[in-house]
Amino acid sequence: MSIMRKITLFTMACMLSGSMIYAVNYNTTKSTTAPEEFPTGYCEPSKRVNESCGEVNIDDVHSHSIRSLSVKVNATEVLSLGETKTTFNYKPREQQFSVEQGQEITFDFLTGRWANNMWIGCDWNRDGDFEEIHVLYENGIPEEEQKNNENLTGTYTLTVPATAEAGLSRLRIISDGIVCAAKWLNGYSGYNDPAVMCGTYGDGVIGYAGSVHDLGINVFKANETTALVQPSQHNVIVKGLANGISIETASQTNVSIFSITGLVVCNQTIDKNEFIKVPTGIYAVRAGNQIFKVVVK
């Protein structure tokens, strides 16, 4: 599997070099989870270490965490986060976005000046763990630069594999800063092991003043701009038309419409035929237990 990826990291004063990137080959076994549901089984770290790398349960310091994050798909912003207020942020339903196979996802981020380590984990085969690990940087900010610069800013771009399975999954971002974070991975080949997503200091524990953010990502098949499902097979037809979405169903059906940023536009029960007016854009439509992508022009 070939993953396109590029990275730019810079502080307020200078360009960084030497950052390392790893992608892990993943099992391509088809997921048994319905595309409109999140896979289960994701690990969720719940503790942090203190400044001496001793395990504690604290949630009061976030100087090594994300201060702002903008997520863009093909240069269009689809999600943004503000300054981290809590360490463990598992909100894939509330903070989600949509993307097609083969599209680029760009992360523009701002972190505290002590944020030495940052990873992104992807679950492209929707099996409940993060087999593909992207290392934005690790122990890469010299101490003097940390002292002289308030924040670290950077841009990271990855490409959704053409073989990524369509449907919902989690995308995890971990940011922490104590140098000994890397000790959990000693003996591994770089950072190409999914264990880091379950704890940078051992199972369930991340670095001091760091944080975890789980975002929801909804992958669609490439170029699937309008979905048509014949009533004789699935009892529903969904079409993107001018000024709205047409839904035809043979029986009473619960319908939810989501914008590309994951916001709920409509949530109602329809009988037979319904035309729902929405602005121009790309939408995900959930009709019963099926999910469609439509484009309104």
Confidence of residue 41 (pLDDT cuts 50, 70, 90): very high
Q: Where are the domains of the chain?
A: 5-220, 231-296
Per-residue model confidence (pLDDT) at position 223: 64
Confidence of residue 180 (pLDDT cuts 50, 70, 90): low
63-67, 69-73, 285-289: range with lowest mean pLDDT: 285-289
DSSP-derived letter for residue 184 is G
**Residue holding tokens 């976005």?**
97
Confidence of residue 226 (pLDDT cuts 50, 70, 90): very low
Per-residue model confidence (pLDDT) at position 228: 35
Nearest to 3 by CA among 108, 142, 160, 155: 160
Three-state DSSP class for residue 233? helix
pTM for the full predicted model = 0.68
> 108-112, 126-130, 230-234: which has the highest mean pLDDT?
126-130
The partner residues of 112 in beta bridges, in order of sequence, read 151
The secondary structure of 200-215 as a DSSP string is BTBTTEE-TT-EEEEE
Per-residue model confidence (pLDDT) at position 104: 93
> 18-22, 52-56, 225-229: which has the highest mean pLDDT?
52-56
CATH architecture type of domain 231-296: Sandwich (2.60)
Per-residue model confidence (pLDDT) at position 188: 36
Mean pLDDT of the chain, nearest integer: 75
Per-residue model confidence (pLDDT) at position 169: 95
Which of 2.60.40, 2.70.50, 1.10.1200, 1.10.3470 would CATH assign to domain 5-220? 2.70.50
Per-residue model confidence (pLDDT) at position 231: 35
Instruction: Give yes or no on whether 5-220 and 231-296 have one common fold.
Output: no
Per-residue model confidence (pLDDT) at position 94: 85
